[in-house]
Amino acid sequence: MTALIAFTRTGCQLGQRLARTLGGTLWTTGRLSAELGLPSYGDLQAWTGERFRDSEALIFISASGIAVRSIAPFVRDKFSDPAVVSVDELGRFAVPLLSGHVGGANALAQQVAKITGGQAAVSTATDVQGKFAVDVWAKEQNLVLTSRELAKAVSAALLDNEPVGISSEFPIAGTLPAGLTQGPAEIGICVSHTTELKPFPQTLHLVPTAVTLGIGCRRGTSRDHLEDRLAAFLEAHALPEAAVIGLASIDLKKDEQGLLELAQAHDWPIQFYPAEELAREPGDFPPSHFVQKTTGVDNVCQRAAQRAGGTVFIPKTASDGVTFAAAMENVTLTWAPSCPL
């Protein structure tokens, strides 16, 4: 959701145009609300706090100072803040104020400027110098950025014209951006299934957000126990939780309360499959006589992971009555058009 706010009649005219083109809702003052048929923002601080919670982007059609004072109490960090752009009511300058890269404020300011015929006042160092921005690329490619500090170090190295290495378990289409090297380097980026590989002395790991966990458990296993075993599994295999997109299991578990609570707590969808469908999955799976007798199929977690998630890269792992396996969808990466060459 994009939220727009304007304080004058002229600003509202521009705001309505932007809202129609970009998609979003425009708020204005109580005085103009009834006249223009727009919602009133009421208390500006309260409105801003609410929009920080429910919006991906905020556009202030006003002086930048109004926007800065409004957002100041709510700013946390660029990885969680929404994009914030201010634009004057004539649309001459669009200024990204907050979360320029990860939140997309730089790109949003450029969109606004294109609509208004104005200019985007982008000031981020990598943009100004035309350097590769690893945080932007990670977001575009749906990759988990595992270390904020190392991401900053990568950007600093590129700005200092130091080589930054790149290693990837997945093919990346396109031309390698300037500043990156496939040779040795003191600091580099590793795109892989997990964070285990360390091809550079300082390695920033990027992991595709494309992992499905297959899971099996004893009847009546509590959510707390599942959480404990999940944390142990992720740590043991250097797998970021943020890379997980869902769970999979056998349909005998579709009413398993602890499992359902686990999925809900992490906001993960969970898919259930009948035994006969899991049994048809091709491949070699570590069998269990007990699981075969209980469920009608020799392996639940690894078969379910493959059925729902693609290629298994972490096979069945058993721990205290719970089994996990991990599979990943096909990953297609490209040096996006936004990457400078």
Span 2-123: which CATH code?
Answer: 3.40.50.11220
Where do the H-state alpha helices sit in 85-175? 105-116, 125-128, 134-140, 148-159
What own/partner pairs with CB < 8 Å and gap ≥ 24 does 19-26 have? 21/115, 22/59, 22/108, 22/111, 22/112, 22/115, 24/57, 24/59, 25/1
Residue 127 pLDDT level (bands cut at 50, 70, 90): low
Structure tokens at 16: 């309505």
Residue 235 pLDDT level (bands cut at 50, 70, 90): very high
pLDDT at 340 over 80: no
Domain 211-328 sits in which CATH superfamily? CobE/GbiG C-terminal domain (3.30.420.180)
CA-CA distance, 29 to 32, in Å (whole number)? 5
Report CA-CA distances (Å) from 30 to 34, 45, 89.
7, 15, 18
The dihedral built from the CA positions of residue 174, 175, 178 and 184, taken in this order, carries a sign that is positive
Ranges of each domain in the chain: 2-123, 134-207, 211-328
pTM of the predicted model as reported, rounded to 2 decimal places: 0.75
Strands 119-120 and 93-98 come out as parallel
CA-CA distance, 308 to 247, in Å (whole number)? 8
Structure tokens at 89: 């009511």
CATH number of 134-207: 1.10.357.10, 2.40.10.120, 3.40.1390.40, 3.40.1670.10? 3.40.1390.40
Residue 129, pLDDT score: 61
Q: Does 134-207 match 211-328 in CATH topology?
A: no
- Residue 153 makes CB contacts below 8 A (sequence gap 6+) with 187, 202, 204
Token pair 């939140």: residue: 103
Residue 98 pLDDT level (bands cut at 50, 70, 90): confident
